[in-house]
Amino acid sequence: MTSAVEPGTVPGGEPGAAPAELEAHFEATLAHKDRVEPRDWMPERYRRTLVRQIAQHAHSEIIGMQPEGNWISRAPSLRRKAILLAKVQDEAGHGLYLYSATETLGVTRTELTERLVSGAQKYSSIFNYPTLSYADVGTIGWLVDGAAICNQVPLCRTSFGPYGRAMIRICKEESFHQRQGYELLMTMMRGTDEQRAMVQESVDRFWWPSLMMFGPPDDASPNTAQSMAWGIKTHTNDELRQRFVDMTVPQAEALGVTLPDPELAWNEERAAHDFGEIDWDEFWRVVGGDGPCNAQRVAHRKKAWDDGAWVREAATAFARKQEQQQEAA
């Protein structure tokens, strides 16, 4: 979509102040499946929904560094340590692309981080579970990155340009992460009985929380209908969860692990897998702050943010000084 507003107009404009022409232009952009760009007029609710979703996504990438980061100093070999370091660093990069996308909507990374550490904004429930063994590094790659890919590949075609473009690169890296997790688990499954047991125990703990990553069921998802009408989401939570289950079952068979759900079975009629009921009470408890690691994750992030204050101050002072020198020259 080309710019429909005067340069300098605040993105999103005032709620209810949009002339019908601008609104029609916005609707036409969505109807043609074109991208909405930051300088285009957009309804305030569309802008706010994007800030909420992209910020939650960015926070997830950053908080998501903690569970795996826990194992960097205890990786079983130099090769595994190098792989894990690179993966965790990639997640930091994803967070930064996403914070940059929200900045085009008029919110700074500082504001968003403050909302995260104060508990005003969410991050993915999955990162509130602990990593208890090195197999968890493989399981997170396989299941958590696997679920992330299922959810995020459709977001490459989301209606807001900067978000969709960030997702293209993120998805390429997440695919690589998923394969490294699978490769790690496959190596362990070819190892000793103890290693195989470690993988199975890890999969038992992460399977259900991975299914929860897709969000509440469609009939309990307050945002899906509007987000789909705006082209922010292109599939519902349940559709993507089903896609993930169908994709993962054959991979589990190839690995030789059992997914901890006695109701998991192929349904010929639906041409999809049936699976058991997710514990939604647990999901809402974890989202509400009462998961096994919520307090620890946020406290760690807050400490890192506070400890980094002097770096941000120094960088800002340096930039200001350079500007002054350029002006003087």
Exactly one of 5, 23, 56, 305 binds ligand FAQ (CB under 6 A); that residue is 56
Q: Is 125 in the site for ligand FAQ (CB under 6 A)?
A: yes
In the complex, residue closest to ligand FAQ by CB: 64
Exactly one of 25, 35, 47, 57 binds ligand FAQ (CB under 6 A); that residue is 57
CA atoms within 13 A on the CB side of 244: 32
Cα end-to-end span (Å), the chain: 40
The SS3 assignment for 265 reads strand
Residue number with CB closer to ligand FAQ (3 or 296): 296
- The stretch near ligand FAQ (CB under 6 A) out of 37-45, 218-226, 249-257, 309-317 is 218-226
Q: Is 300 in the site for ligand FAQ (CB under 6 A)?
A: no
The DSSP string of 113-177 is HHHHHTTSS---GGGGS---STHHHHHIIIIIHHHHHHHHTGGGG-SBHHHHHHHHHHHHHHHHH
Q: Sign of the C-alpha dihedral, residues 316, 318, 324, 329?
A: negative
Q: Is 285 in the site for ligand FAQ (CB under 6 A)?
A: no
Phi, psi of 294 (to 5 degrees): -55, -50
Report how far residue 84's alpha carbon sits from residue 178's, in angstroms, rounded to the nearest whole number. Answer: 12
The DSSP string of 226-264 is HHHHTTS-SS-HHHHHHHHHHHHHHHHHHHT---S-TT-
Phi, psi of 266 (to 5 degrees): -70, 130
Q: Is 227 in the site for ligand FAQ (CB under 6 A)?
A: yes
Q: Is 101 in the site for ligand FAQ (CB under 6 A)?
A: no
Report how far residue 177's alpha carbon sits from residue 171's, in angstroms, rounded to the nearest whole number. Answer: 10
Q: Is 202 in the site for ligand FAQ (CB under 6 A)?
A: no
Exactly one of 237, 242, 248, 294 binds ligand FAQ (CB under 6 A); that residue is 237
- The stretch near ligand FAQ (CB under 6 A) out of 76-84, 102-110, 221-229, 320-328 is 221-229
Exactly one of 1, 213, 245, 259 binds ligand FAQ (CB under 6 A); that residue is 213
Report how far residue 61's alpha carbon sits from residue 64's, in angstroms, rounded to the nearest whole number. Answer: 5
- The stretch near ligand FAQ (CB under 6 A) out of 7-15, 147-155, 292-300, 315-323 is 147-155
Q: Is 242 in the site for ligand FAQ (CB under 6 A)?
A: no
Minimum distance of ligand FAQ from residue 232's CB (angstroms): 8
Q: Is 261 in the site for ligand FAQ (CB under 6 A)?
A: no
Minimum distance of ligand FAQ from residue 131's CB (angstroms): 10
Report how far residue 318's alpha carbon sits from residue 77's, in angstroms, rounded to the nearest whole number. Answer: 40
Q: Is 184 in the site for ligand FAQ (CB under 6 A)?
A: no
Residue number with CB closer to ligand FAQ (25 or 233): 233
CA atoms within 13 A on the CB side of 216: 14
Exactly one of 55, 101, 116, 140 binds ligand FAQ (CB under 6 A); that residue is 140
Query: Total residues contacting ligand FAQ (rule CB under 6 A)?
Result: 30
Specify the DSSP class assigned to residue 14: S
Q: Is 293 in the site for ligand FAQ (CB under 6 A)?
A: no
Reference 133, options 187, 212, 63, 205; nearest CA is 205
Q: Is 144 in the site for ligand FAQ (CB under 6 A)?
A: yes
Give the pair of three-digit tokens for residue 305.
């943010």
Specify the DSSP class assigned to residue 190: T
Report the site for ligand FAQ in 67-96 (rule: CB under 6 A).
Answer: 91
> From the centroid of its chain, how far is CA 148?
6
Report the site for ligand FAQ in 105-124 (rule: CB under 6 A).
Answer: 122, 124
Residue number with CB closer to ligand FAQ (125 or 202): 125
Residues that bind ligand FAQ (CB under 6 A): 52-53, 56-57, 60-61, 64, 91, 122, 124-125, 140, 144-145, 148, 151-152, 212-216, 221-224, 227, 233, 237, 287
